[in-house]
């Protein structure tokens, strides 16, 4: 197979470009070896397959070797399984941390089994039970009746205090949840802005022209003005733009026949 003259140079240039990019990534890794949150990077490269359809001369016995190497991107060296396990464990940790905080607020509201001050619901219920036990023995005693009444008031007040504390804990958790939701939404908006910036920067490297430059239009117009649309004779053409491609093709065919007859 007869290959293009500069195919070997182009293959070598692609190899040098890939090696240079690899050195850049290696330098980046060495520079950030102690940076918090940095992940080691590496280039992703693939071999460029030979394009035998564009070769004018080809042989079925020996095929083309290829066209070098191409860099498809720069990726991070990470373990997918470890990343998934880390995210799952972080989610579990967040769930149990929040559950512990909520249960701690409930325990503070109930104030049960406090070794320093046993003034929770259990203590007032035990006091009411003792008062009723005494009143059952002295059913006609006004003193014991007042003790039972006071114990019942203490139970009622304790239940009201517990209900108020539980409502306050519930409102605090709802407020904390709204703050967390706003924080997450803000971070998602910032992430969307970063993604848009990355897309705009990536698009700026390969711009797509939306209009034809004036110089190209002028050159194309001058080229088409050199062909007549309705030639009168091959030797005296009229310099006007053709109306259709068929008239141009007819003029070229006539000019070629005239040249051969000469």
Q: What are the per-10-residue average pLDDT scores of the chain (262 residues)?
A: 69 90 93 89 86 54 72 86 91 91 86 66 86 87 89 89 90 91 94 90 60 45 48 46 46 52 50
pLDDT at 108: 82
Q: What is the pLDDT of residue 194?
A: 92
Q: Same domain for 18 and 116?
A: no
Residue 215 confidence (pLDDT): 44
- Residues of the domain holding 59: 7-78
Structurally, how many domains does the chain consist of? 2
For residue 88, what pLDDT is reported? 92
pLDDT score of 85? 93
Q: Looking at 49-126, which runs of residues are DSSP E strands?
A: 69-76
Q: Are residues 140 and 31 in the same domain?
A: no
Domain boundary among 78, 97, 131: 78
- State residue 117's pLDDT score: 63
Write down the number of H helices and E strands in the chain: 6, 2
Encoding tokens for residue 92?
Answer: 């579990």
The pLDDT score that the predictor gives to residue 241 is 42
User: Residue 246 has what pLDDT?
Assistant: 45
Residue that terminates a domain, selected from 46, 78, 110: 78
Q: In this structure, are residues 39 and 76 in contact, taking their beta carbons and an 8 Å threshold? A: yes
């Amino acid at each position: 197979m007869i290959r293009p003259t500069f195919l070997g140079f182009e293959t070598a240039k692609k190899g040098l470009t890939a090696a240079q990019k690899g050195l850049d990534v290696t330098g980046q890794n060495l520079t950030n070896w102690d940076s918090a949150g940095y992940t080691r990077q590496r280039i992703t490269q693939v071999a460029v397959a030979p394009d035998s359809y564009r070769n004018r001369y080809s042989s079925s016995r020996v095929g083309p070797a290829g066209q070098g190497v191409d860099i498809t991107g720069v990726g991070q060296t990470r373990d997918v399984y470890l990343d998934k396990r880390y995210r799952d464990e972080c989610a579990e940790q967040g769930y149990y941390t929040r559950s512990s905080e909520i249960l701690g607020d409930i325990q503070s509201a109930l104030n049960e089994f406090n070794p320093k001050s046993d003034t929770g619901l259990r203590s007032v219920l035990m006091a009411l039970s003792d008062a009723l036990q005494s009143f059952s023995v002295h059913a006609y005693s006004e003193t014991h009746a007042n003790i039972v009444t006071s114990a019942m008031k203490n139970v009622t007040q304790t239940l009201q205090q517990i209900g108020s504390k539980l409502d306050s804990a519930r409102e605090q958790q709802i407020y904390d949840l709204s703050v967390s939701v706003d924080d997450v939404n803000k971070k998602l908006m910032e992430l969307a802005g970063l993604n848009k910036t990355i897309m705009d920067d990536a698009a700026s490297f390969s711009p797509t022209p939306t209009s034809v430059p004036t110089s190209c239009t002028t050159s194309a117009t001058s080229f088409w003005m050199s062909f007549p649309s309705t030639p009168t004779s091959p030797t005296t053409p009229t310099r006007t733009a053709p109306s259709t491609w068929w008239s141009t093709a007819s003029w070229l065919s006539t000019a070629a026949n005239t040249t051969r007859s000469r």
